Structure 1
């Protein structure tokens, strides 16, 4: 299987896969800029058919448009480039699945979607809350990204699952007492019920997985979820309106076995099938 379809089919596709190779604010172990290509290469080793969903990528319309051409070191420029690129796609009626890159890429993606959708929910799978206001003097960082996104969609529209690393002050932010699921995905059905018919943007930081399953990430956190748990969650989204998604924080060279890249590619397959409904 590979993430590809004919360029002649792009006008007919509903979902566009796009690489966003940026990791300029990584604070521990950089390297997620190499993830989009690693995921594509790993996709050659897995089947297009998902037995978990009884669906095949060959039966849906999607297109891998490649990577957004980014500057190596100019953060502000890169954020503008990402936002402008995605706006063009969604204004043409496309849904995008972005392959990070670090988690900060979600911020310009959310800014782009907010240009089209008046209100939508963000569902975040992550080991880290990413809610601090500033990290080492930077308000735009992979450690602050969900704080910035919440300022766009409203704290009431941010639903967090799998969180097991945060600062104590995060608990005092609006709606965190009811919209934050600690340690696992047990609150997923409750959250999705409360979201109702509202459109959903899904952001998956792969460090939500336990590092024994997924060591190839920049900030591994013990105590994470299993691969089967994330698949069970994704199947809950099949009846929801998913307008866009991203998969971030694979740093492939920290896992010389290549297993983390295969896991990431498999999760991308499952999300593509859900978005292709």
Structure 2
């Protein structure tokens, strides 16, 4: 059970009336069905599948602000959308209160997210600057949960010398002891922004980094990565400027539709328990287009969660097609879901791990899939 009264001290309520200009939401709009923390109303967290949390903290970035209106700007657009996923129950616990210091905000976010995860809720965090990934990770570490983390970011925030926590928070996550990170994936980095040595370091640690171009060539490559993740952190700088005007980093990046695909893949994961969307600066937005983009990504995250609810357990072999393959003198098994079309491959230790159709094709042609090799190296 998630005890809302225990969390209430850290949170500020939202106002649906303010977000919708004193208009009533339609019963089919998300604003009409979401169970939100308002002045006179506490949400029933036990009934919720996905819980929204706004964290506008920006003191870890160049902006240095204690709070941002970003989460409410995103809510304003998200609550307007029509709810097609009646099997997914939504709650909103409002916005995290700004503490006196950045460390206070981190501690509060760690506590709130950690308690929701412990109650088996999926937490959807509307950030704030990207360093909030650190307390997102600490929510798991506080409960000694060993996790796989995936970050989507045009940059790799490992700049030790930077004065801004948002540019070096990854160093804290990767080097902190004791460490609760089983594996780390990085999606969508843009090579010209990243020091080659940084990639070499991550590769030596057997972490997987996927260039923007590689994922855009075949978006389905990202699905198995996100299916295996417990934590997903996304910086809106991965979306090209024309599709997300609040991103002033680069004219290049994922399209709006591709970013929605990533969010949908995250929703389809049966392991994922927290998804943070960071880096939204409402003062840089144009016609609220970036807020709408993020709202639609959240809608697709719900869509993915609806697909996940229909997936069978791997033990139910009647729900999968089974393919026995031999490649390079290795015999293995591939499974394909009859319900969702997703693929898994078996490692020598008999564990099944998520993979893509392309991995099956490579194995069928007597080639060792890179994904299989990387998993073996880590074992």
Please classify the TM superposition score into its range, dividing by the shorter chain length.
Answer: 0.7 to 0.9
1:37 counterpart residue number: 72
Please give the per-residue CA displacement for 1:86-114, whole angstroms capped at 9, x wherever unaligned: 22222222221111011111101111123
2:197 counterpart residue number: 169
1:182 counterpart residue number: 211
Aligned positions of 1:196-235 closer than 5 A: 198-217=228-247, 219-235=248-264
2:60 counterpart residue number: 25
- Structure 1 residue 241, shift from structure 2 partner: 1.9
Q: 1:128 aligns with which of 145, 149, 155?
A: 155
Q: Distance in 2 between matches of 1:178 and 1:105?
A: 21
RMSD: 2.8
Q: 1:74 aligns with which of 82, 91, 101?
A: 101
Name structure 2 gaps, 5 residues minimum: 1-28, 37-41, 310-379
1:148 counterpart residue number: 172
Q: Distance in 2 between matches of 1:171 and 1:113?
A: 26
TM-score, normalisation: structure 1 = 0.83
- Structure 1 residue 223, shift from structure 2 partner: 1.3
Q: Is the 8 A contact 2:53 2:93 kept in 1?
A: yes
1:94 counterpart residue number: 121
Name structure 1 gaps, 5 residues minimum: 50-55
2:90 counterpart residue number: 62
Q: 1:223 to 1:93 in 2, by over 3 A?
A: same
- Structure 1 residue 190, shift from structure 2 partner: 4.8
> Which deviates more, 203-212 or 21-30?
21-30
> Which deviates more, 28-37 or 249-258?
28-37
Q: 1:275 to 1:116 in 2, by over 3 A?
A: farther
Q: Is the 8 A contact 2:147 2:180 kept in 1?
A: yes
Q: Distance in 2 between matches of 1:2 and 1:191?
A: 28
Q: Is the 8 A contact 1:31 1:253 kept in 2?
A: no
2:291 counterpart residue number: 261
Q: Distance in 2 between matches of 1:270 and 1:153?
A: 29
Higher-Rg structure is 2
Q: Distance in 2 between matches of 1:175 and 1:275?
A: 31
Q: Distance in 2 between matches of 1:159 and 1:267?
A: 20
- Structure 1 residue 14, shift from structure 2 partner: 2.4
Q: Distance in 2 between matches of 1:19 and 1:76?
A: 17
Please give the per-residue CA displacement for 1:3-37, whole angstroms capped at 9, x wherever unaligned: 52264532211221101110012226969722111
Q: 1:11 aligns with which of 30, 46, 54?
A: 46
Q: Distance in 2 between matches of 1:86 and 1:178?
A: 25
Please give the per-residue CA displacement for 1:149-205, whole angstroms capped at 9, x wherever unaligned: 233444x61111111122343123132786111224247655654787x44211111
Q: Is the 8 A contact 2:150 2:226 kept in 1?
A: no
User: What is the number of equivalent residue pairs in this alignment?
Assistant: 263
Q: Distance in 2 between matches of 1:222 and 1:183?
A: 13
Q: Distance in 2 between matches of 1:76 and 1:29?
A: 14
Q: Distance in 1 between matches of 2:134 and 2:180?
A: 11
1:52 counterpart residue number: none
Q: Distance in 1 between matches of 2:117 and 2:259?
A: 26
Q: Is the 8 A contact 1:21 1:68 kept in 2?
A: yes
Q: Distance in 1 between matches of 2:256 and 2:66?
A: 22
Higher relative contact order (CA 8 A, sep 6+): 1
Q: 1:118 to 1:13 in 2, by over 3 A?
A: same
